[in-house]
A = this chain, B = another copy of it.
Amino acid sequence: MQRGSFQWMKSLNKSIILNKIRIDGPISRAQIAKETELTPPTVGTMVKELLAQGLIKESQLGASQGGRKPTMLVLHVQGFHIIGVDVGPSQIRFIISDLAGEIADELLQEIDPSIENEAFLKMLKQGIQLLMNQHPSLQFIGIGVAMHGVVDAEQGISIFAPNLDLRDIPIKETLEQSFAMNVKVENDAKALALGESWFQVGTAEKSMIAINIGQGIGAGMVIDGKLYHGEHGIAGEIGHMMIDLRGKKCSCGNHGCLQTIASGPAIADRAQELIDAGNSSILAQQHMPLTAEMVHQAAVAGDELARAILHEAGTYLGIALANLIHTFNPGFVIIGGGVAKAGSYILEPIMEAMKSRVIYDRAQDTVVQLSKLSDYGSSLGAVALVLSELFQPET
């Protein structure tokens, strides 16, 4: 679209109206005009077009304000659907979502650890095709892919996926050729952040940060409803934020990275270490290698050692969060990923450590919440990638 042209201005105004309906609907034409400061005729013509496109629909009549009843407009959430794909360390999750983030269907597939680029792309294509075939009546408008590791979001390439040991996978190009629709690719932590901002925080107006704690620790930042990538696309790689100069050695070669204390594997390792040192715990009876999940379950069961370990991890996360608040100062923080399942056992020490370290009173009240999207966080984030382009095209 030619920037600065009439068409461009029109599409911008149209987006404003569409977004208004999405966020504040059901809403009448008259109220849209009031709140957006556009004139009633402008709103009228735009609404007519949006109705024709099938993006919105008229619902019931609203209550009278002393005159004619307004016809309320709402997003036609079932009008179009989106495919969301979340490529994790060991499995791929495919979902079909409507425009409101309601999941209509899903598919989970295990990844062969020795998979190669070609087979991986084929697996993606087949999974998507399978889901689409099962819902021939639905109209799909885009595919979003959340991928762990380093991603070039602009090109739509997975540059490096450490857990699969794959490099330079041209995901966007391949899928756009196969399905002839808009494809967005993004790092999973960033997708999670957008998803949370889109479906949970709601308006996506505030700056927010979503921290994904699993095998590693990553974060995504949303500013004014848009993902922030940084110069090299590595903004949010907080797993390697140094917290403790003289701490444990990290896989990256440095010491005291956040990952060495608060990631899933770090929690499991720490438990093993303390048990080996002779501390008593119900975890000592485990025959399988310990996982963070087991530590959490032990904590729920009342195990003191497990609780202490989670408390320690939470404290470090809280310190890291204080650092983030002192640098990025988000209005909203979401904790997601596997470790977030430990619930209050991890959230409480996080809050405690954060509050005691943030030096501005008002910033101490930064809202911190556990993700409610659970296992669907990243896949819904992938959906949000497509939605964010549909609803707020580039200025």
Closest approach, in angstroms, between the C-beta of A323 and any C-beta of chain B? 5
SS class, residues of chain A in contact with chain B: loop
Q: Is the CB of B245 within 8 A of A328?
A: no
Interface code A336-379, partner B: CB below 8 Å = 1, 0 otherwise? 00000000000000000000110110110010000000000000
Known contacts A4-B12, A237-B326; A230 and B207 CB within 8 A of each other: yes
- Stoichiometry, copies per complex: 2
Known contacts A4-B13, A16-B4; A327 and B245 CB within 8 A of each other: no
Q: Is the CB of A359 within 8 A of B319?
A: no
CB-contacts of A228-248 with B (<8 A) = 228-238, 240-247
Interface size class on chain A is: 35 or more
Bound complex: CA A247 to CA B246 (Å): 10
A: residues with CB less than 8 A from B are: 2-4, 9, 12-13, 16, 36-38, 42, 150, 206-207, 219, 223, 228-238, 240-247, 252, 254, 256, 319, 322-332, 356-357, 359-360, 362-363, 366, 395
Known contacts A230-B329, A329-B232; A359 and B252 CB within 8 A of each other: yes
Residues in chain B near residue A366, CB distance under 8 A: 231
Bound complex: CA A150 to CA B329 (Å): 14
Q: Is the CB of B231 within 8 A of A357?
A: no
Residues in chain B near residue A16, CB distance under 8 A: 4
Q: Is the CB of A323 within 8 A of B242?
A: yes
Residues in chain B near residue A331, CB distance under 8 A: 230-231
A328: contacting residue among B235, B246, B395, CB under 8 A: B235
Residues in chain B near residue A323, CB distance under 8 A: 241-242, 323
Which residue of the partner chain B has the closest CB to A239? B326
Bound complex: CA A57 to CA B241 (Å): 50
Q: Is the CB of A241 within 8 A of B326?
A: yes
Closest approach, in angstroms, between the C-beta of A289 and any C-beta of chain B? 26
Instruction: Give the 3 A-B residue pairs with the shortest CB-CB distance, closest first.
Output: A230-B329, A231-B331, A235-B329
Known contacts A243-B242, A245-B244, A326-B241; A232 and B4 CB within 8 A of each other: no
Other contacts beyond A4-B16, A230-B330, A244-B246: 15, CB < 8 A? A3-B37, A4-B42, A150-B360, A207-B231, A230-B331, A231-B332, A231-B363, A234-B363, A237-B359, A237-B360, A240-B357, A240-B359, A244-B245, A245-B245, A245-B256
Residues in chain B near residue A229, CB distance under 8 A: 329
Known contacts A241-B323, A326-B241, A329-B234; A9 and B4 CB within 8 A of each other: yes
Bound complex: CA A304 to CA B376 (Å): 58
Q: Is the CB of A330 within 8 A of B231?
A: yes
A242: contacting residue among B219, B231, B319, B395, CB under 8 A: B319
Residues in chain B near residue A242, CB distance under 8 A: 243, 319, 322-323, 357
Known contacts A9-B4, A13-B4, A245-B245; A329 and B233 CB within 8 A of each other: yes
Bound complex: CA A357 to CA B256 (Å): 11
Q: Is the CB of B327 within 8 A of A327?
A: yes
Bound complex: CA A234 to CA B332 (Å): 14
Residues in chain B near residue A237, CB distance under 8 A: 326-327, 329, 359-360
Bound complex: CA A110 to CA B332 (Å): 42
Residues in chain B near residue A329, CB distance under 8 A: 229-237
Bound complex: CA A319 to CA B240 (Å): 11
Q: Is the CB of B324 within 8 A of A327?
A: yes
Bound complex: CA A236 to CA B238 (Å): 16
Closest approach, in angstroms, between the C-beta of A5 and any C-beta of chain B? 9
Which residue of the partner chain B has the closest CB to A206? B231
Residues in chain B near residue A322, CB distance under 8 A: 240, 242
Residues in chain B near residue A330, CB distance under 8 A: 230-231
Q: Is the CB of B327 within 8 A of A241?
A: yes
Q: Is the CB of A326 within 8 A of B247?
A: no
**24 residue pairs bridging A and B, Cβ less than 8 Å apart:** A4-B13, A4-B38, A4-B42, A150-B360, A223-B228, A230-B329, A231-B363, A232-B363, A233-B329, A235-B327, A237-B327, A240-B359, A241-B326, A242-B357, A243-B245, A244-B244, A244-B245, A245-B245, A245-B319, A252-B359, A323-B323, A327-B328, A328-B328, A395-B395
